[in-house]
Amino acid sequence: MKKIIASALIVLWATGHHSFANQIGPVGKGVSTEEGTARYYAANLKGKLTSFGEKYDDSQLTASHSKFPLNTLLKVTNLENNLSVQVRVNDFCKCEEEGKIINLSKEAASKLGMMASGKAKVRLEVVSHPTPEKTIDKALDNLLTKGREVSSKEEPKENKIVANSAVPAPPFSINRTYDINGSEKSPKGFGVQVTALSSLNMVQDLYDELVKMGIKKEEIYVQVGEKDTNKIFRLMFGEFYTKEAATEKLTWLSQRGYKGVIRSHYNL
């Protein structure tokens, strides 16, 4: 039965009719390189289903793209620092409509050194294309597995990845400082600011990176500010009595690929 379904899908792939083939996007074999903006998936999407029925795992080197089918391998190079990584396409997105050319997993973004800004100018190069038969067979396996999971109520339909899905934010107040879990803190003096973002999900991702680098959790703070009437979340670490005392950590951070700045805590 599976062979019959797969054969039908291959025909639909070849004819280009509105079908499963259109769902997984154009083959994209005429594209060899591409440059533009890359972003990465929010932390709340971990474990949810991609367009091809795979569960998103932020520790894997994967990506979503609008032109390439499932299992296309791409080399992604960050043009701002020349770091590169190879990723496998396992999701479809209308990236161009959102001002980007690719969505990356958290692990891929980390290896490209783009966690602080949440985006980067990148170059994409095709490493290998999958054959239509293998692509459809893999996607079919995922969809059949997904169907079994839904019928057994192990994975509801609404768990499919949706770009820009709304996530309720903790009640962080402007002009106050918190730990990553939303407990208010009162650090004094100066700290090293790693980034300032409007997304708490992205701040969480970078917080994880700081912990990996050896910064103690209790020394990491989220300072809430305001920009253009919107909240801005500044991820900072350390308590230093003078700016000079913070300079050593600023240098340490720079050596690890992050451009930090020294900023005063609210309780200076």
pLDDT tens digits, residue range 42-68?
766 778 888 778 888 888 999 999 888
Q: What share of the chain is helix, strand, coil (3-state, %, to 5)?
A: 30, 30, 40
- CA-based torsion, 19, 20, 26, 28: positive or negative: negative
CB 63 within 8 A of CB 74: yes
The angle that helices 132-151 and 2-15 make with each other, rounded to 10 degrees, is 130
CB 96 within 8 A of CB 37: no
| Amino acid 133: pLDDT | 53
Backbone angles phi, psi at 158, to 5 degrees: -70, 0
Which domains does the chain carry? 2-159 (2.40.40.10), 177-264 (3.30.70.1070)
Q: What residues of the chain score a pLDDT lower than 50?
A: 1-2, 4-6, 8-28, 135, 142-169
238 Cβ contact list (under 8 Å, min separation 6): 190, 191, 192, 219, 246, 249
CB 169 within 8 A of CB 200: yes
Would you state the structure tokens that stand for residue 41, as one six-digit string?
A: 């998936």
214 Cβ contact list (under 8 Å, min separation 6): none
| Amino acid 76: pLDDT | 96
Q: How far apart are CA 62 and CA 72, in angstroms?
A: 10
CB 24 within 8 A of CB 66: no
| Amino acid 251: pLDDT | 87
| Amino acid 190: pLDDT | 94
Q: Classify strands 102-104 and 33-40 as parallel, antiparallel or unpaired.
A: parallel
| Amino acid 52: pLDDT | 77
Q: How far apart are CA 262 and CA 116, in angstroms?
A: 15
